Amino acid sequence: MLQPRIPVNPLPTGIVAPLIPPTPVTDIEPTQAPAPVPVAAPRTTVQLTPGSALALAAGGGAAVLVVGAVLVSMLLAVAITGVSVALIAVVLRLLVRDMQKGR
């Protein structure tokens, strides 16, 4: 069971030859009756009325607007951070240059 098996390449006909031929199982007598197969409950169908379809569309539109606003605000935060870091780099460069001149 835990030994690795080498995969068998399929023949040109598409039939895969097994590594170990299967052994036929005979002389098995059931000791008890097979368990009954459970019957699935019938599914209920969802019917959309015009009002519920409109509410669903409005909810979807609101979700799209909220997600868009969050993404735009995150992009704006990254842009503002980048500009402030660039400004600080320019100021530090000017300060270092002034220190090297001896002022």
- Under 8 Å between Cβ of 45 and 56: no
Per-residue confidence (pLDDT) for residue 12, from 0 to 100: 63
Tens of pLDDT, residues 3-16? 777 766 655 666 66
* Interval 54-97: pLDDT, tens: 999 999 999 999 999 999 999 999 999 999 999 999 999 999 99
Tokens 């605000």: give the residue: 73
